[in-house]
Amino acid sequence: MRGLNSSKRFTRIFRHLHRRTPDNLPKTYPAGQLTFISEGHKFFSMLFDAIATSEKYVCLEYYRISADKTGTRLAEMILDARKRGVNVYLIYDYFGCLDTPDSYFRRLKQQGINVLVFNPPSFRRGINWFDRRDHRKLTIIDGKTAFLGGRNIGDDYAGTPETPPLFHDVGFTLSGTAVEQLTELFSEVWFMEKGEKPDFQLLAPHQFDSYQEDEPESVISLVSGGPHQKRSRIRSAFRVAMATASTELLIANPYFLPGPLILRSLLKSAKRGVTVRLLLPARSDVPLVRVLSRSTFDQLLKAGIQIYEMQHQILHAKLMVIDGVRTVMGSANMDYRSFNRNYEINAHIRSASFGNQVHRHLEQAFSEAHEVRLVDHIRRGVIAKIMERLLRPLRWFL
């Protein structure tokens, strides 16, 4: 019954959106094979294995690539692939990689890797160049398999089987016709920055026929966002997902500065009886975000929304599970930057088996987190309340 009610609500809302903004709706594809990966070391092991077996081309698009053990391993893998005749295309964000030595990327270029830095300093682009980021985390192998999620390339996200990573994050692999759209999205960014498209052929749809879906009824939609859009598609898709919830809405997000529209969607969900639980970080690599995030807690807690804070790792996963069967996962945070100024990509997946895996993962994370109680939050102190008010205008810039 839960899945039926959710499906009916989902259909009604999307029918309404089709009448109003048909050109902005993402395409829906058969989901193909989906693999949810919660462990950092397993994610990178699978990523490197896929690169090792690549035959035609590898596309990588990452906000941050560190020159540590994991980053060095990636460099060796793509250089080996290039020696086998595989074309490798790498996009990295200029600001995200400020701490990465130029020699790391120079070596790749010198040995035949097609390297593109996103949005380097340029006076020709005016002052707006400073605020653009490519925040995506994406790998495409031969146009057949893709890796998505929130993980950057670095030891902080990888960890080992014995030692957990610093950042708690997730990812997944997909195959099938949706990979074709990911390849097109990658090509668009390459063309936007370089003025020419990568030199590879997009696979025709019939070349994906050999992939068997885990569930015939499973579908996936890819939502890409960027400052070129008049309205944030990332935010709109978040709101649609919230509006389709019938019984339960679980959200994990590390940089929670939702703004009035997302707040309204959360409050509406709670008002109609949906159980809403938020997993947020107890500590952050951007402490100012945590201060501002807590300024929204009063309103949320009073509406019956449950808030938990992850204690032992720094939360970096961007997850949403709706009624246990639909999942939103990708690179976008719930903040102004991801909505309006970053290039982002999220996957909206309707799959009972995949959703169940992500749901179990989140339930475990919630069980280990600290619940924020309204009575305790009210007692947080006068200084904390003053800081939240004084810093509130900075939300747009974070």
Q: Do 104 and 17 fall into the same domain?
A: no
Domain co-membership, 356 together with 266: yes
Residue 336 has pLDDT above 50, yes or no: yes
DSSP annotation of 211 reads: P
- Quick one: pLDDT at residue 175? 94
pTM: 0.89
What confidence score (pLDDT) does residue 201 get? 58
Considering the domain architecture, whether residues 120 and 147 belong to the same structural domain is answered as: yes
Task: Give yes or no: residues 190 and 226 share one domain.
Answer: no
Q: Same structural domain for residues 49 and 61?
A: yes
Last residue of a domain, one of 214, 234, 258: 214
206, 263: one domain = no
Q: Which of 214, 243, 277 is the last residue of a domain?
A: 214
Unique residue bearing structure tokens 């020699």: 103
Q: How far is CA 188 from the centre of its chain?
A: 18
**What is the C-alpha separation between 352 and 215, in angstroms, rounded?**
8
Between CA 253 and CA 106 the distance in angstroms is 34
Query: Are 386 and 351 within one domain?
Result: yes
pLDDT of res. 379: 82
CATH number of the domain encompassing residue 300: 3.30.870.10
Domain-ending residue, one of 162, 193, 214: 214
Structural domains counted in the chain: 2
H helix count then E strand count, the chain: 14, 19
Query: Is 114 in the same domain as 233?
Result: no
In a shared domain, residues 208 and 226: no
Predicted confidence band of residue 291 (pLDDT cuts 50, 70, 90): confident
Q: Residue 236: which of 260, 266, 261, 219 has the closest Cα?
A: 261
Residue of 240, 244, 357, 214 whose CA lies nearest to 4: 244
Quick: pLDDT tens for 5-51.
Answer: 555 555 555 454 444 444 456 789 998 899 999 999 999 999 999 99
pLDDT tens per residue, range 51-62:
999 999 999 999
Residues 74 and 106 in one domain: yes
Same domain, 280 and 339: yes
Does one domain contain both 206 and 265? no
Domain ranges, residue 265: 1-30+219-398
10 Å CB burial of residue 346 (0-12, 13-18, 19+) is buried
CB 56 within 8 A of CB 87: yes
As a residue count, the chain comes to 398
